Structure 1
């Protein structure tokens, strides 16, 4: 059964989706607002336990996606978005959403490469950039590949299906 925190999450993600599609960025006021709403909601509804629940979700989701950000797999806005998601829904649901969003993003990337018919070309370029970086012990060619030749899309395209999958499997598939 859906609770108030789930509806807060849906509103948060719809606004993030609109901004990410239109402006290719997730504004700081939105991510900070999501964190604040999650913390305040859980503190009011659950006291100190709610506050701990929210902070753990924020820290775990933010820390895991911070690692992905360090490796330039995602943007900083996505890190802050998932910190807000963690603050709103807690560690367990945030981890499921993170797992599904990474899987969906990978599948979307493959589909985009296949439909743009650049799959073989991009994979070959990526392979040579990777091998060249390892042999030369210089990551600049790999960094250049990631910024100029890699296929990128708004991560929200993966987050929304991930949220749907999470709620489906957690609340409906095994009921």
Structure 2
């Protein structure tokens, strides 16, 4: 009779424990993506709920280590994107969404989500800029923002989110896409 080791048996509960933190991340990200697409706004009730759910799920499933990972994910998400909020090149809702996703996924998986988000947002931005025929103006704005960043100063109002003429990309949509792709990939064992 062949011996069966505990590692060779894959129980549904074990799979659920592995995927558990992705559930609030997926729900939060999909809702945020829809709201950001339709209203260009990600409300506080959603990001705070996602943060609380992420910390709660991780704490329940993994104890103190899960709570620690969730809080580190929050700190990483908020810390990495804070300079862009201060430069007014990123909305506060997008920033708080990154913190909520960090609470759900922890710091390591959040980095992956943010990398995919950057790629998706870049493609979205390129499509919008070409569609609106604003390539030269966009390149000038990027130069102004980078110069302000390296001088530790705020860019002029012409390149901020407050300018109604500026081209805006709903980053919540890009984050939602990244979370869905990575979450589904993880669920089917491809990532």
Cα distance change of structure 1 residues 19 and 164 upon mapping to structure 2, 3 Å threshold: closer
What TM-score do the two structures reach when normalised by structure 2? 0.74
- 1:103–1:34 CA distance, 2 compared to 1 (3 A): same
Task: Tell me whether 1:22 sits opposite 2:38 in the alignment.
Answer: yes
SS at match of 1:157: helix
Q: Which has the larger radius of gyration?
A: 2
Distance of 2:88 and 2:190 partners within structure 1 = 34
* Greater percentage in helix: 1
Quick check: 1:142 aligned with 2:142? no
1:161 & 1:62 partners in 2: Cα distance? 20
1:45 matched residue in structure 2: 61
Describe the shift of the 1:42–1:23 C-alpha distance in structure 2 as closer, same or farther (beyond 3 A).
same
Relative to structure 1, is the Cα distance of residues 148 and 142 closer, same or farther in structure 2, using a 3 angstrom cutoff? farther
Q: Distance in 2 between matches of 1:140 and 1:45?
A: 43
Deviation at 1:140, TM superposition (A): 7.9
Calculate the aligned-residue CA RMSD, in Å.
2.8
Aligned partners of 1:93 and 1:166 also within 8 Å: no
Q: Distance in 2 between matches of 1:36 and 1:76?
A: 18
> How far does the alpha carbon of each residue in 1:13-45 deviate from its partner, in whole angstroms, 9 at most, with x for none?
122122222322111111111111111111122
The CA deviation string for residues 130-168 of structure 1, in whole angstroms up to 9 with x for no partner, is: 39x88xx9x787322332432102112211232244346
Aligned CA distance change for structure 1 residues 125 and 43 (closer, same or farther; 3 Å): closer
Could you say if the C-alpha distance between residues 70 and 44 of structure 1 is closer, same or farther in structure 2, counting changes exceeding 3 Å? same
TM-score for both structures, normalised by structure 1: 0.80
Question: Which residue of structure 1 lines up, in the alignment, with residue 169 of structure 2?
Answer: 153
Distance 1:33 1:53, change over 3 A: same
Number of residue pairs matched? 168
Kept in 2, the 8 Å contact 1:35–1:84? The answer is yes
Query: Contact (CA 8 Å) 1:100, 1:165: kept in 2 or not?
Result: no
**Alpha carbons of structure 1 residues 145 and 74: separation in structure 2 relative to 1, 3 Å:** closer
Cα distance in structure 2, aligned partners of 1:57 and 1:111:
31
Aligned to 1:92: 108
Higher relative contact order (CA 8 A, sep 6+): 2
Query: Residue 74 of structure 1 aligns to a residue in which SS?
Result: coil
Structure 1 runs not aligned, ≥5 long:
none
